[in-house]
Amino acid sequence: MDSSSLGLDRRRFVGVFAGLGLAGSALPELLWARAGEGPITRETLAAAETLAGIELTDSERDLALAGLEELRQDYLKLRQVPLDNSVAPALRFDPEIAEALTRLPAPARRPSADRDAALPDDEEAIAFLPAVDLGRHLRARRISSRELTALYLARLKRFDPQLHCVITLTEERALAAAARADAEIERGLWRGPVHGVPWGAKDLLAVRGYPTTWGAAPYRNQVIDEDATVVRRLDDAGAVLVAKLTLGELAWGDVWFGGTTRNPWKLEQGSSGSSAGPAAATAAGLVGFAIGSETWGSIVSPATRCGVTGLRPTFGRVSRHGAMALSWSMDKLGPMGRCVEDCALVFEAIHGADGLDPTAVDRPFAWDAELDLRRLRVGYLRSLFEREPSPEEDEDPARVREAHALDLAALKLLRSLGFELSPVELPDLPVGSLSFILSAEAAAAFSELTLSNRDDELVRQIDQAWPNVLRQARTIPAVEYLQANRVRTLVMRETARAFAEVDVVVAPSFTGDTLLLTNLTGHPAVVVPDGFTGDGTPSSLTFLGRLHGEAETLAVARAYQEATGFHLRHPRLSPGE
């Protein structure tokens, strides 16, 4: 019998050593057959020591064997306890561990001045209006929510065959919500800026009565009998959910069980991920705004690729109740829209604790479009802006150089707007080596998928995809996971010091380890288009904020965005493409 026929038994054996630093994947193939259900011997332990980076004597091995067998039996007993994906470990990540925060009362909301513009005659022009403008037209009853919802549902049906950005239309729910919004607005009950505005949810958010597939074939028929907190809060704000949008399988990439979600600017290119559908649908004018999620770039990357604006809030700022768990210490939910103000107004509707997600906190926030920017201290990551781009950073070196030139032009423009940019540097620690924190937590979140062999149903079966990474992660020692989180504490402390003298930091979106670092520390980010490269696709700039500093970060990003107008450009699609 070869090792591949052992299936679940082999994987069980790998798990025996995960908490000890005794990695099963270091074992020769012969030992899998001997040890899958058999005794743990000196030979199996000696082979496992290689990956653990330790070396025991024979007497030390003999001493360990009985205890290892007891641990194996403990692991097997614990695996019999059903663990839903929603059950978090009894450990809680707190981004504020390294940063003292001043508690300030929330300012009064001051949205941008109503431009009182006429509603466009052309339906396509209406479809591409920012959510903030749609909300104003709805409130003024220049258009009804039912008309707007019908427009977006028609566009979703018309263009999804090209973009592959929709998993499930929520048409019945949407039409009922739109009718309710119209009736409320007609009698003077206005719930806020997104009342009556159609939106799309990344399909890792539970919606009662509809499948929640997580983009993965093993879960394509899964129905979770509740609404995620974000969905409920947007319902309360009067927004209209029209579709559950694609995500890469289990929140990685843009490939899901129905295909690859496409970039509306370049259909032969994927939309990036994992918030692939929210980015593509927003960019293509198929929804007024969308909700995505980020663990390590899943808002920033597709927002960049598709040329939309994205807000990754501070960790814990938005409840994740009812959302798929990938990494309990890194997952974040945030809005994706056509402009910064869209993201601000949606964030205002969804932020805050709910008593259901233990990491969710209440901190004051109100969008202030008239915030005095002169009082804000803005820094920039000088070493990353000054660094010459390396061809190894991207499969398209010319694009890397073009994006770098756009980033430098953005700095020049910010200075012309009156910002005195101070040089800032983030911690010089091996941040890239902390990425296995995510892998370990994901392997725990989807342990049953791996142990049951149902990971074979996932589309992507390559080195850099979940099936392989989740298996590998079962060999991560518990000691090394904890040590990595101790280094993470140092990163958090040093990042807090870097932000001590500034309120907002301007950064290239993908240069260096900034994206991973700030996801590990829990800092917020706003990503906006900063131009277009030679192939006609967008590039982006990132604005990083202090913990819970979304208001200031959004304000600076909006000042840049309003001065450029890149967000006003949109792709042109034809149904026959």
Across 160-257, where does the E strand assignment appear?
166-169, 198-202, 240-245, 255-256
User: Residue 363, by phi and psi: left (phi above 0), alpha (psi -120 to 50) or beta?
Assistant: beta
Q: Tell me, yes or no, if 5 is annotated catalytic.
A: no
Distance of CA 209 to the CA centre of its chain: 24
Query: Annotated catalytic residue: which of 145, 274, 293, 327?
Result: 274
3 state SS of 424: strand
Q: Tell me, yes or no, if 157 is annotated catalytic.
A: no
How many residues belong to the chain?
577
Residue 302 near residue 348 (C-beta atoms within 8 A): no
378-381 β-sheet, strand order: 166-169, 240-245, 198-202, 289-294, 332-337, 309-312, 525-532, 538-545, 504-508, 378-381, 422-424
Residue 479 tokens, joined: 């000691």
Residues in CB range of 115: below 8 A, 6 or more apart? 133
Residue 396 tokens, joined: 């398209």
Q: What is the distance in angstroms between the CA of the first residue and the CA of the last residue of the chain?
A: 51
Residue 323 near residue 233 (C-beta atoms within 8 A): no
Nearest Cα to Cα of residue 210 among 252, 150, 154, 166: 166
- How far is Cα 235 from Cα 469, in angstroms, rounded to an integer? 37
- How far is Cα 370 from Cα 258, in angstroms, rounded to an integer? 44
Each residue of 349-372: b (16+ CB within 10 Å) or e?
bbbbbbeebebbbebebebbbebe
- How far is Cα 238 from Cα 27, in angstroms, rounded to an integer? 57
Residue 492: CB atoms within 10 Å: 24
Tell me the backbone φ, ψ of residue 107, rounded to 5 degrees: -70, 165
- How far is Cα 540 from Cα 508, in angstroms, rounded to an integer? 8
Q: What is the CA radius of gyration of the chain?
A: 25
Query: Annotated catalytic residue: which of 275, 293, 298, 509?
Result: 298
Tell me the backbone φ, ψ of residue 68, rounded to 5 degrees: -65, -40
Residue 194 near residue 346 (C-beta atoms within 8 A): yes
Which residue in the block uniquely carries the two structure tokens 């007891």?
A: 70
The neighbouring-strand residues paired with 422 are 379
Query: Annotated catalytic residue: which of 144, 202, 271, 275?
Result: 202
The helix-helix angle for 171-186 and 131-139 (nearest 10°) equals 50
Residue 113 tokens, joined: 């001045």
Q: Tell me, yes or no, if 383 is annotated catalytic.
A: no
Residue 577 tokens, joined: 């493409």
Active site residues: 202, 274, 298
